[in-house]
């Protein structure tokens, strides 16, 4: 085969595919999967919390009955397994936004929900409003649709709706959505106040855009009173969920188990109908046997599993905060999350998280995610994300101590 032929085999990807670069961080962290390294990197659940025997019972029951086995192993409707949609709608209702099954579409984890919403809302050159920092996976999902990003200014900001709109115009598109993780955010662990939520809803009303509320960690509150979800606040203002512009992304991944890949979107029926078409075109339906098994678990023991997860992660957060307090130099600051899986640390100006990582791994045998990865705008070089979900309390204490030794 000639060189010319070999070159012609490499296909010409879509323009948008050029943006889908491997996150160097993820590549680096993959290499780090070594037992001697204490990892504060991935925000993944502690597998000791997984209800394996309950799932074994659920799959056995589903497959033992000919009727439910035939349903479990067959194609299914794109909107999701009816009884699971009902259960999710009830659970959403308990949060304050009166939902029916028709307000729910089941997704392959909330990551698929983010992809679908990008597909539905973003054309090339449009603007997505996100935090800086924000969840890396949301940036990856949206970037496939070639938006530009603008930064949600938050409570202390003074950006006007008009300034967002003008900059979007100048870039040749429109502001099409805002995305936030309001509770125990990935990556900062911070929670939006009620005032900040209302301010965001007002901005969204003025810009006439949907607000994507990523509620992945919302159930994992260790202390303090919950702030109403953006969706509940907006549905209350507008009179109904169907009139709300908030799109709520939920998941069982952080409270029951991520391996079944079951999440959901709760939104107006009009939007759900569009999302069902996207699902039909994108993967037909989420595995129905997994939807049945998840419903079984959710009905039988969701409350208990959430309590167990809260107890486990609260103790780990306490271990991390205590170790940070004990060992970190004064020049390092960090957040004190009331829930979720993450602490966000700010290193002294000029100290790069990305440059620290290889040293941390080789010298201190500790891993984390450099904060720059979570910033669409290239900022945040002196920040790092520390997840306490996977290591034990002892490992957390030890890992923070070792990391601190590099920073002194």
**Using CB under 8 A, which residues numbered 194 to 253 contact a copy of itself?**
205, 208-210, 238-239, 243-245, 253
Among 38, 129, 289, 341, binds a copy of itself (CB under 8 A): 289
**Interaction between residue 304 and a copy of itself (CB under 8 A):** no
**Interaction between residue 3 and a copy of itself (CB under 8 A):** no
Nearer to a copy of itself, 37 or 297 (CB): 297
Closest distance of CB 244 from a copy of itself, Å? 7
Distance CA 113, CA 119 (A): 10
- In this structure, what is the dihedral angle of CA atoms 113, 257, 64, 53, given to the nearest 10 degrees? 180
Nearer to a copy of itself, 279 or 347 (CB): 279
Distance CA 35, CA 367 (A): 11
**Interaction between residue 161 and a copy of itself (CB under 8 A):** no
H helix or E strand, kind and range, residue 176: strand 175-180
Closest distance of CB 259 from a copy of itself, Å? 4
Among 39, 111, 151, 383, binds a copy of itself (CB under 8 A): 111
- In this structure, what is the dihedral angle of CA atoms 80, 82, 84, 85, given to the nearest 10 degrees? 70
Backbone CA torsion sign across 126, 130, 134, 137: negative
Among 271, 341, 343, 364, binds a copy of itself (CB under 8 A): 271
Closest distance of CB 277 from a copy of itself, Å? 5
Q: At what angle do helices 52-64 and 66-73 cross, to 10 degrees?
A: 110
Among 80, 109, 353, 371, binds a copy of itself (CB under 8 A): 109
Among 130, 220, 288, 364, binds a copy of itself (CB under 8 A): 288
Closest distance of CB 198 from a copy of itself, Å? 16
Max CA separation in the chain (angstroms): 68
CA atoms within 13 A on the CB side of 240: 7
**Interaction between residue 305 and a copy of itself (CB under 8 A):** no
Closest distance of CB 195 from a copy of itself, Å? 22
Residues 171-190 that bind a copy of itself (CB under 8 A): 174, 176
Residues 54-83 that bind a copy of itself (CB under 8 A): 55-56, 59-60, 63-64, 66, 69-76
How many CB atoms sit inside 10 A of residue 156's CB? 6
Among 103, 140, 188, 231, binds a copy of itself (CB under 8 A): 140
**Interaction between residue 376 and a copy of itself (CB under 8 A):** no
Distance CA 273, CA 120 (A): 12
Distance CA 29, CA 14 (A): 28
List of E strands, 41-164: 104-107, 127-130, 148-151
**Interaction between residue 31 and a copy of itself (CB under 8 A):** no
Q: Exposed, middle or buried: residue 272 (CB in 10 Å: 0-12, 13-18, 19+)?
A: buried
User: What is residue 339's DSSP assignment?
Assistant: B
Q: Which stretch binds a copy of itself (CB under 8 A): 87-95, 256-264, 309-317, 356-364?
A: 256-264
**Interaction between residue 359 and a copy of itself (CB under 8 A):** no
Among 40, 121, 248, 388, binds a copy of itself (CB under 8 A): 121
Closest distance of CB 326 from a copy of itself, Å? 31
Nearer to a copy of itself, 289 or 323 (CB): 289
Distance CA 250, CA 219 (A): 10
Backbone CA torsion sign across 58, 63, 69, 74: positive
**Interaction between residue 367 and a copy of itself (CB under 8 A):** no
**Interaction between residue 127 and a copy of itself (CB under 8 A):** no
Nearer to a copy of itself, 130 or 403 (CB): 130
Distance CA 60, CA 311 (A): 29
Q: Which stretch binds a copy of itself (CB under 8 A): 97-105, 109-117, 335-343, 348-356?
A: 109-117
Binding residue count for a copy of itself, defined by CB under 8 A: 92
Closest distance of CB 275 from a copy of itself, Å? 10
Q: Can you spell out the DSSP letters for 223-243? A: SSPPPPPHHHHHHHHHSSGGG
Backbone CA torsion sign across 273, 229, 293, 260: positive
């Amino acid at each position: 085969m000639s060189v010319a032929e070999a070159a012609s085999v490499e296909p010409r990807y879509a323009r948008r595919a050029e943006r889908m670069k491997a996150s160097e961080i993820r590549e680096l962290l993959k290499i780090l999967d070594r037992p001697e390294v204490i990892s504060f990197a991935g925000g993944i659940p502690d597998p000791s919390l997984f209800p394996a025997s309950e799932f074994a019972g659920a799959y056995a029951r589903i497959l033992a009955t000919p009727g439910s086995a035939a349903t479990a192993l067959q194609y299914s409707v794109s909107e999701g397994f009816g009884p699971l949609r009902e259960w999710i709608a009830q659970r959403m209702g308990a949060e304050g936004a009166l939902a029916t099954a028709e307000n729910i579409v089941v997704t392959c984890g909330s990551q698929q929900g983010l992809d679908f919403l990008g597909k539905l809302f973003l054309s090339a050159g449009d603007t997505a409003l996100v935090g800086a920092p924000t969840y890396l996976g949301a940036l990856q999902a949206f970037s496939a649709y070639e938006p530009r990003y603008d930064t949600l200014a938050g409570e202390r900001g003074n950006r006007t709706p008009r300034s967002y709109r003008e900059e979007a115009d100048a870039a040749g598109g429109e502001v099409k959505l805002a995305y936030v993780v309001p509770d125990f955010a990935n990556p900062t662990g911070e929670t939006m106040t009620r005032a900040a939520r209302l301010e965001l809803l007002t901005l969204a009303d003025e810009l006439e855009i949907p607000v994507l509320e990523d509620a992945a960690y919302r159930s994992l509150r260790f202390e303090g009173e919950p702030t109403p979800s953006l969706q509940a606040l907006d549905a209350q203002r507008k009179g109904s969920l169907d009139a709300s512009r908030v799109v709520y992304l939920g998941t069982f991944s952080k409270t029951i188990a991520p391996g079944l890949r079951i999440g959901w979107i709760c939104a107006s029926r009009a939007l759900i109908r569009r999302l069902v078409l996207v699902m039909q075109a994108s993967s037909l339906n989420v595995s129905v046997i997994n939807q049945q098994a998840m419903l079984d678990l959710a009905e039988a023991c969701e409350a208990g599993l959430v309590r167990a997860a809260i107890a486990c992660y609260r103790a780990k957060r306490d271990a991390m905060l205590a170790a940070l307090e004990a060992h970190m130099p004064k020049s390092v600051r960090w957040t004190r999350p009331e829930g979720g899986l993450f602490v966000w640390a700010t290193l002294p100006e000029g100290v790069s998280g990305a440059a620290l990582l290889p040293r941390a791994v080789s010298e201190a045998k500790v891993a984390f995610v450099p904060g720059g990865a979570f910033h669409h705008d290239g900022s945040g070089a002196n920040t790092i994300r520390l997840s306490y979900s996977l290591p034990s309390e002892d490992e957390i204490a030890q890992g923070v101590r070792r990391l601190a030794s590099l920073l002194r």
